[in-house]
Homo-oligomer: A and B are copies of this chain.
Amino acid sequence: MAVTLADIADRVGVTQATVSMVLNKAPSSVRISERTRQKIFQVAEELNYTPSFVARSLVKGRTFTLGLLMGGIESAHHAEVTTLVLEEAEACGYRVLLAVTEWSHEKELECLDMLVHHRVDGILLGSHALRSGTRQYEYITSQHVPIVLLGYSEEFACAYSDWKPGMTQTLDFLTKKGYSRIGYLHSDTSGFTDFKQMDLKEVCQRFGLALKQYTCEPNQADCARCGRQFARTDQGPDVMIVQSDFMATGFMRGLYDQGLQVPRDLAVVGCDGTNAGEFFVPPITSIAQDCRVLIKGAVELLVEMIGNRNVPKRKVSVATRLIVRGSA
């Protein structure tokens, strides 16, 4: 089908091996007559030769492919994360096989299997699937499959945002503006610890502030429902911190449906600091992650682990900060 090294070798009158060397090694490190080298390149060009990564992968035992597992990419933040992974991976010479799990625990495990079947060199876990006890967990730990989690983890190497600085800035800002009754809306479906929440709690305590918690599903529709309900019944918070900008948009829609105005009737602070938040009406005040740095750190860590499987499980932490826009 496609043209192979052998085709070139035949035409030039040398062996595959020679062609392989000439084409792949640094010109200095391979000793060959200038005539032959020229001819090889010329014939490769003529024949439109394209090296097969799959053959190379087989022999090298590496695919130069990273697996990326995301719960979903419909929110601007997750789309940004995905894009950055793609960019950073490429910068390190890797391709990425993307799998989205729709936040289903079962599907996450299936996708993990798929990535292993494909022999990706490492896995970036954007959805927190891996718990001890599953076959996949055992496999990955026992085989030392390089893996880094996007988010905090005790068990694996990971890259996560440190929410404390951002939360501190936020409470500082809010209290100075006269807000004092803090609400926190988050989704509780994953079954995993919400470290963001823990940080917020801690910081609230430091400020001597109570925290009223709300939960809903991590989709816009349910956040909107929650917003409507809040508007109809709640007399508590004067500011709502929402787990993500994405969820904040849903929540705000619910508020509007009931005639509430943001920030006049209720201030809203999102999380993630997505670019898109700036274009919402009103623009969303948000505790921003430094995604670029975070993902760069994650990918580089993963690549390092691929290069040397004995590198200790590091944790990359990146500070957050408050971006004040219009919603608070």
Tell me the A residues contacting B by CB distance below 8 Å: 1-2, 48, 50-55, 57-58, 61, 63, 65, 72-74, 76, 78-80, 82-83, 86, 95-100, 113-114, 116-119, 138-139, 142-143, 220, 224, 249-250, 252-253, 256, 275-276, 278-281, 283
Number of copies: 2
Q: Is B97 in contact with A224, judged by CB distance below 8 angstroms?
A: no
Q: A86-B98, A99-B86 are in contact. Are A116 and B50 (CB under 8 A)?
A: yes
User: Quick check: B118 and A95 within 8 Å, CB to CB?
Assistant: yes
Q: Is the CB of B224 within 8 A of A250?
A: no
Instruction: Give the residues in chain B near A53, CB-CB below 8 Å.
Output: 117-119
Closest residue on chain B to residue A48 by CB atoms = B139
A93 to chain B, nearest CB (A): 11
The answer on a CB contact under 8 Å between B74 and A83 is yes
Most buried by B among A80, A97, A252: A97
The answer to whether A95 and B114 touch (CB under 8 A), given A2-B143, A57-B54, A119-B53, is yes
Q: Which residue of B lies closest to A2 (CB)?
A: B143
* Residue with the greatest number of chain B CB neighbours at <10 A, chosen from A82, A118, A279: A279
B224 near A279: Cβ-Cβ < 8 Å: yes
Q: For the complex, what is the distance from the CA of A191 to the CA of B281, rounded to whole Å?
A: 32
Would you mind naming 15 contact pairs between A and B with Cβ atoms under 8 Å apart?
A54-B58, A54-B63, A65-B97, A73-B83, A74-B76, A74-B80, A74-B83, A79-B79, A82-B98, A83-B100, A86-B100, A95-B118, A250-B279, A253-B281, A281-B281
Contact A54 B98 (CB under 8 A): no
A96: min CB distance to chain B, Å = 6
